[in-house]
Chains A and B, each alone.
Chain A
Amino acid sequence: MPVIDLANPSRFLSVVNRVLPWLIAMTIILFAIGLYRAINAPDDYQQGATVKIMFLHVPAAWLGMFGWGLMCIAALGTLVWRHPLADVAGKAVAPIGAAFTFICLVTGSLWGRPTWGTYWVWDARLTSMLVLLLLYLGVIALYWTAEEPGRGARAAAILSLVGAVNLPIIKFSVDWWNTLHQPASVLRIGGSTIDPALLVPLMIMTLAFLLLFVTLHLASMRNEILRRRVRSMRLLQAQELAEAT
């Protein structure tokens, strides 16, 4: 089946209904393996057992940014091609991205207290991540409070594209400014500086979180398509009632 066929909401729904059970099963299996490896991972020589927070914090941070990247692609689909599925994808991903960004901030804070001696500092990495969460909340508000859904979707798409400026700021904040947050230690030129005993569980947990993200996004898109069907059926019903009276 050509990929373009998926752009039809009915076709998309039938594919999602077939794919979701497999995705759910794979997510559960990967989390079982990842958590087993994370629990049994050795302590860090400096941080001790608190390094176990990394297996939650790092994937959540990556997926918080990944979610915004997806919203930017969806925004282009909404503004350039005006495709309804792009709008559905953007609206569906926002709460998921916000949840992962929230997890990143909270777990980072809980990791920071024993490591740095403080829950929070207004340094560039932490602040830009908080800005990402606030931007997510702004997009969610635009999608869910606009009286006319099309107008809300266009406004949210514009905010998504403008907010993309924050992504390189988050990524390079630790290089551009003097921050309390450590520099990149996984995705860096010259390879990871993390020992394989910690890196392998981190990668498995990242894959598990990514599958969870994709599963939730597809399920959320399915909900949004159904919600739009309900809306159009109710409008049709109201129109028919008005014509009958």
Chain B
Amino acid sequence: MNLGPHADFIVAAYAITIFVIAALVAWVALDYSTQQRILGDLEERGVTRRSRRKG
């Protein structure tokens, strides 16, 4: 594939886009595992949500 005289600009555009999207995906995935872990810790310590409580 020949990207011509402006190959650097094309490659940079794709590289930056991939980097930003990868960072966004990583942030969302890490945030999910963090919240899951905290919720697990709280439930282990016996803290439950009001809606889950009986009586």
Contact = CB atoms under 8 A, between A and B. Distances in A.
A236 B36 CA distance: 18
A53 B6 CA distance: 11
A193 interface: no
B50 A236 contact: yes
Nearest to B9: A110
Contacts, number: 96
A220 B49 CA distance: 21
A118 interface: no
B4 A49 contact: yes
Name A's interface SS. Answer: helix
A103 B20 CA distance: 7
B10 A50 contact: yes
A226 B36 CA distance: 7
A232 B49 contact: yes
A245 to B, nearest CB: 17
Contacts of B6: 48-50, 114
Given A103-B17, A107-B17, A236-B47, A53 B24 contact: no
Given A60-B17, A220-B28, A233 B42 contact: yes
A52 B10 contact: yes
B47 to A, nearest CB: 5
Interface of B: 1-7, 9-10, 12-14, 16-17, 20-21, 23-25, 27-29, 31-32, 35-36, 38-39, 42, 45, 47-50
16 contacts: A48-B6, A52-B3, A52-B10, A106-B17, A107-B16, A110-B9, A110-B16, A216-B28, A220-B28, A226-B36, A229-B39, A230-B35, A230-B42, A233-B47, A234-B47, A236-B50
